[in-house]
A and B are shown apart, each in its own frame.
Chain A
Amino acid sequence: MIASEKGERRDMRPPVRRGSGRLIAFEGMDGSGKSTQSRLLFRWLQAQGAAVAQTAWNSSPLVAPAIHRGKSTRSLVPLTFSLVHACDFADRFERIILPHLEAGHTVVADRYVFTGMARDAARGVDPAWLRQLYDFAPLPHLTFYCAIEPEVAVQRLLSGRPRIKYYEAGLDVDPQAVDRRRAFVRFQGRIADEYGRMAKEFGFVTLDATRPLAEQQRDVREAVADVLGGLDASALVASGRGTEEQ
């Protein structure tokens, strides 16, 4: 099972060498602004001269064709949805995250294993099995949870695109739904419940995602500076203000 000590390797499988890198993750439902916050942090760390890498959920080029095919044909059922995304994560973990950590770099992850745990549990997959599934990955040193109400998130998403996607509305487990927007709110509400439970279990740092971007980013940088050391959080907060659209 998962050890409680943050930043320590959790019985990682297969065995890996431990490095001195730091892992920082951003979590939250679709439309919560976590990608914006993680990108701002990444750029700030780069500007600070830190050796930093970023990785995003669902971005393994080796697994992408399978995920695309599964989603476009709506072939994914909760278990295969869970497994194929775990595969995506595992590929990025083995080829990007772990090498950087072993090299002593900082890794900023736009979504981490908690996304799989929350989404899949909301789809009815056994939470205990999900925890063991992701047991090969270490806990982040910091996990920011961008908390937001589903109603607010759906407004944000629909301000930038015409419709909510099939799987993000959970229509695979709610096939009778006639209103995709309401289905999204229901499904993402269940995901938020899972995040709420994990926030306590894994010691997330919760951000109020309805606050101004710069204020959230200031809190992020202060927390990260504490973990990494040698960074001047206050000097660079202003540079992020207004530079990114939510």
Chain B
Amino acid sequence: MSAMGLLVTLEGGPGSGTAEQALLLRQSLDGEGVPADFVQPGGEDAWLVPDGQRAPEWPPASRVAPFLFAVTHLADTWHHLAAPGVAAGSIVILDRYRTTLLAHARARKLDAEWAAATVAVLRPADVAIYLRSDPVRQLDRLLRAGQALRGWQVGIDVGAARGTGFAGAFRAYQSTVSRQFDALAGPGRLLVLDGDCDPAVLQRQIHDAVITALEAVG
């Protein structure tokens, strides 16, 4: 294990399996004696949202403020929850980070260049993996998990739900988000994996990518 750990991020839309795969990765690394932490931004430790309260309910026309709130949240997550583990030599696995935020920002018509330059202040991931998933599959997973759809997941603030209902809006909005993920992918930037393949196969691919990165840093 190197003196410095790794920051691994799993990126994707809601229901794409990022949290499930992050937990599986931590378990498999733990089983091999590799220290690993799983951090989910938005947990109870985040000071931005006081205990027992929810994040601000932004007016539908707000664009810049919600984005900056989310950037603040990720910066805080990195500093207080992830950085100590990385500094201690662990592999810290974040369930969604810069790329997911940027994909949503672009889908919400924020200026892509400005958003990217703003997010660039966050410590980049050593391994960033995008779990590409069909929005129909995403929706199915969320509903099977008993989750009620939230406004931001269906793009209600950008008018995606107009006349289509929540399910239709989810598919339409997440398709837009998916296209933005694809636009952000590229050699050396984002490893794209099929989030809809067999979870065990997907986990092996993720695991191998992390081990390869780990070996590369010595």
Contact = CB atoms under 8 A, between A and B. Distances in A.
Given A14-B111, A79-B121, A91 B65 contact: yes
Contacts of A204: none
B62 to A, nearest CB: 5
A86 B114 contact: no
B68 A86 contact: yes
A87 B64 CA distance: 8
B152 interface: no
A26 interface: no
B150 to A, nearest CB: 17
B57 to A, nearest CB: 8
Interface stretch (B70-78, B92-100, B189-197): B70-78
Interface string A36-77: 000000000000000000000000101101100110010101
Nearest to A137: B64
A132 interface: yes
Scoring A77, A86, A87 by chain B CB atoms within 10 A of each residue's CB, the highest score goes to A87
Interface of chain A: mostly helix, strand, loop or mixed: helix
B197 to A, nearest CB: 37
Interface string B166-193: 0000000000000000000000000000
Interface of B: 47-50, 53, 56-59, 61-65, 68-69, 71-72, 75-76, 79-80, 109-111, 114, 117-118, 120-121
Given A14-B110, A70-B48, A84-B69, 12 more contacts: A13-B110, A62-B57, A63-B65, A70-B47, A84-B48, A84-B72, A87-B72, A91-B65, A93-B64, A94-B63, A132-B118, A135-B114
Of all A-B residue pairs in the complex, the 8 with the closest CB atoms, nearest first, are: A13-B111, A83-B72, A91-B65, A87-B68, A62-B56, A90-B65, A90-B64, A75-B47
16 contacts: A62-B56, A62-B57, A63-B56, A66-B56, A66-B72, A77-B79, A79-B79, A79-B121, A80-B75, A87-B72, A90-B65, A91-B58, A91-B62, A94-B64, A95-B59, A129-B117
